[in-house]
Structure 1
Amino acid sequence: MGSTQARPLLAAALLLGTLASQGNAYAQGAPQSITERRTDVVQLASGYRASKLAGADVFNKNKDTIGTVDDLIVSPGGDRGTYAILSVGGFLGLGKHLVAVPFNDLQITNRRVVLPEATKKSLEALPEFKYAD
C-alpha cells in the first residue's frame, strides 16, 4: 500500500482514537456517551428470569391464590422501575383483569410469588392495565 493510500486510514484511526479517548462514540453522526458499569454476574445469575415468572401463581399471606404473573414491564427510561402485570379473575383467560403492581412489592421465596397484603378483591379494584399498541 502506498503512502498516499495509507494517509486516509491513518487519519481515520487518529480521529477514532481521539474520539474514544474523550469518552464519546458517534452513531449516525450524533455523539453518544459511553458508560459502563461492572456487574456482579454471580449475584445477577441468582435473580429471577422473566420467562420463568410468567404464568406463576401469586399468593397472599393466607396462601390464597390471588392472580397470575402475566408479564414484567420496565418503565421507559427505567426511572420508575419494573412492574409485574398480574392477571386477576376470569376463567381460562376469559374476562381476566390485568393490573400493574411494583415488582418490588412482590416477595419471591422458594419459587413462590407472594403479594402479602393483597386479595383478589383489592387487586380487582386497581385500575385496569392495558398494553400500548
Structure 2
Amino acid sequence: MVATDETHNLIAGDKVSGTNVYNTTGDKIGSIYDVMIDKRSGKVAYAVMSFGGFLGMGEDYHPLPWSTLNYDTGMGGYVVPMSREQLEGGPHYGTRDTPQWDRDYETRVHDYYKTPYYWS
C-alpha cells in the first residue's frame, strides 16, 4: 500500500513546501519554502516563507512561527495576519545566509511576531 501524503487533517512536509501564503485581504505574499520541526517534541516550530525577488533571484526567507499560519481551504493556502511591510521588517535571511537557529534567534522571531515560544 502506498502512503498517503494528505488527509483531511494531515499533510506531508514535502507537500507544504510551495504552498502559497496570503495576507488577510487575500493578497499572495509568498510561499512556504520549508518547515522547521523540533527534534524532541516533533512539533512544527516554523514555516520558512520565501518572498521577494524574481524567478528565485533576490529572494529572502522569513521564518514565521507556525502558530501565525492558518490554512484556508478556499484559498488553498496559508493566511497570516500581517502585511507585507510587517513581514519585510521581520527577521529574515538571504539565499546565501544561514541563520544561527539558537534560542536567541528563535526568541527574536517570536518576539517580533508577538507569539508564544513554541518550546514553552
- Tell me the TM-score normalized by structure 2: 0.63
Question: What are the ranges of 5 or more consecutive residues in structure 1 without an aligned counterpart?
Answer: 1-43
Does the 8 Å CA contact 1:88/1:124 hold for their aligned counterparts? Answer: no
Q: Post-superposition shift, 1:76?
A: 4.4
User: Which residue matches 2:41?
Assistant: 78
TM-superposed CA distance for 1:124, in Å, is 1.4
Separation in 1 of the partners of 2:12 and 2:54? 26
Structure 1 distance, partners of 2:24, 2:66, is: 17
Q: Which is higher, the Rg of structure 1 or of structure 2?
A: 1
Match of residue 102 from structure 1: 65
CA apart distance, 1:63: 0.3
How many residues align structurally?
88
Identity of aligned residues (%): 26
Residue 82 of structure 2 corresponds to: 118
Q: Which amino acid aligns with 2:77?
A: R
Contact 1:88 1:120 in 2 (8 A): no
* Gapped regions of structure 2 (runs ≥ 5): 1-5, 101-120
The TM-score with structure 1 as length reference comes to 0.57
Q: Distance in 2 between matches of 1:80 and 1:56?
A: 19
- Aligned 8 A contact 1:75 1:83 in 2: no
The residue aligned with 2:107 is none
Between the aligned partners of 2:37 and 2:54, the Cα distance in structure 1 is 27
The 3 A distance-change label for structure 1 pair 90 and 78 is farther
